[in-house]
Structure 1
Amino acid sequence: MQISSFLFPKDHVAYITTSMSMKEAMEHLEHHQYSAIPIIDSEGKYVGTLSEGDLLWKLKNTPGLDFDNMNSVSVIDIKKRLKIECVSINAQMEDMLALAADQNFVPVVNDNRVFIGIIRRKDIIEYYTKNITD
């Protein structure tokens, strides 16, 4: 089986860009009801994942930062506490499965590291559950 069989494509995935502010990122997370969201740069390349926890720690550890001035903080200035690894669309299934064991989703990139979508752990579990029980 190919990794592409599990791909949830970029045009169906919410993501944020490096040019967004902390407030915009928080609004995206809230709107899509995500606890973490991929970050891509101006060239479309995957650069990391921002989590709710990252936002909370930034708010807690930045004197004077509050909901009224979060627009002044760029997404790239927020420390990412978890390193969410991506996988190449051409990688082996074992590589993807190893990452999915520790991550709710695995960002998928092409050979130029351009973000093309995600693989959701939920979809992997559903697939294997169905095929093991059938």
Structure 2
Amino acid sequence: MNVLMLLKTKDTLSYLYDTDTLKQGLEELHAQGYTAIPVITLEGTYAGCVNEGDFLRYILRHYGEKFPSYVKIKDIIRPGFNPPVRIDIDMDSLLEMSMRQNFIPVVDDRDFFIGIVTRQDIIKSFIKENQDKNNES
């Protein structure tokens, strides 16, 4: 099994551009019911990930009650949060990453965002693989 078998491609999910405003980002999180969302550049490379806490901390730290409608998403991305993987990652490493992340962003060899793999899909895959092995015995 490889990561491509579990990949939710970017054309099937929501993401933000790093040039979107905080307001646009919050609206998208709310509309999708997400707690975290991938962020890409206008060129399509993976820029990072933001979650609800990132928005709240930024707003409280910089503006208090004045909502900043002009601040860009790239201003709140935390370096190293939800790092991406390449499509050739081994499944054990993917499982280990899923212990810390609800989803793992996947990029190609040029760092272009191609989709995500969810923790739920990884767990289901390992359960199915284990069941298949038990059925063969």
Contact 2:49 2:77 (8 Å CA) reproduced:
no
Query: 2: distance between equivalents of 1:51 and 1:81?
Result: 13
| Matched residue type, 1:80 | R
Distance 1:64 1:117, change over 3 A: same
Q: Number of residues paired by the alignment?
A: 132
Query: 2: distance between equivalents of 1:13 and 1:79?
Result: 19
Instruction: Please state how far the C-alpha of 1:131 moved relative to its aligned partner.
Output: 3.4
Calculate the TM-score normalised by the size of structure 2: 0.88
Structure 1: gaps spanning 5 or more residues? none
Contact 2:48 2:79 (8 Å CA) reproduced:
no
- Give the 3-state SS of the residue equivalent to 2:69 in structure 1: helix
- Give the 3-state SS of the residue equivalent to 2:114 in structure 1: strand
Equivalent residue, structure 2, for 1:46: 46
**Bigger CA radius of gyration:** 2
| Matched residue type, 1:73 | V
- Give the 3-state SS of the residue equivalent to 1:106 in structure 2: strand
Query: 1: distance between equivalents of 2:80 and 2:34?
Result: 15
Q: Could you say what the CA RMSD is over the residues aligned between the two structures, in angstroms?
A: 1.7
- Give the 3-state SS of the residue equivalent to 2:95 in structure 1: helix
Query: 2: distance between equivalents of 1:52 and 1:128?
Result: 29
Query: 1: distance between equivalents of 2:29 and 2:92?
Result: 30
Query: 2: distance between equivalents of 1:82 and 1:66?
Result: 28
Structure 1 residue 22 and structure 2 residue 25: aligned?
A: no
Query: 1: distance between equivalents of 2:56 and 2:64?
Result: 14
| Deviation by residue 1:28-53 (Cα, 9 ceiling, x = unmatched) | 10001000000000110001001000
Structure 2: gaps spanning 5 or more residues? 133-137
Instruction: Please state how far the C-alpha of 1:59 moved relative to its aligned partner.
Output: 1.3
Equivalent residue, structure 1, for 2:5: 5
Which of structure 1's runs of 4+ aligned residues deviate more than 6 A?
Answer: none
Within 5 Å, give how 1:85-104 maps onto structure 2: 85-104=83-102
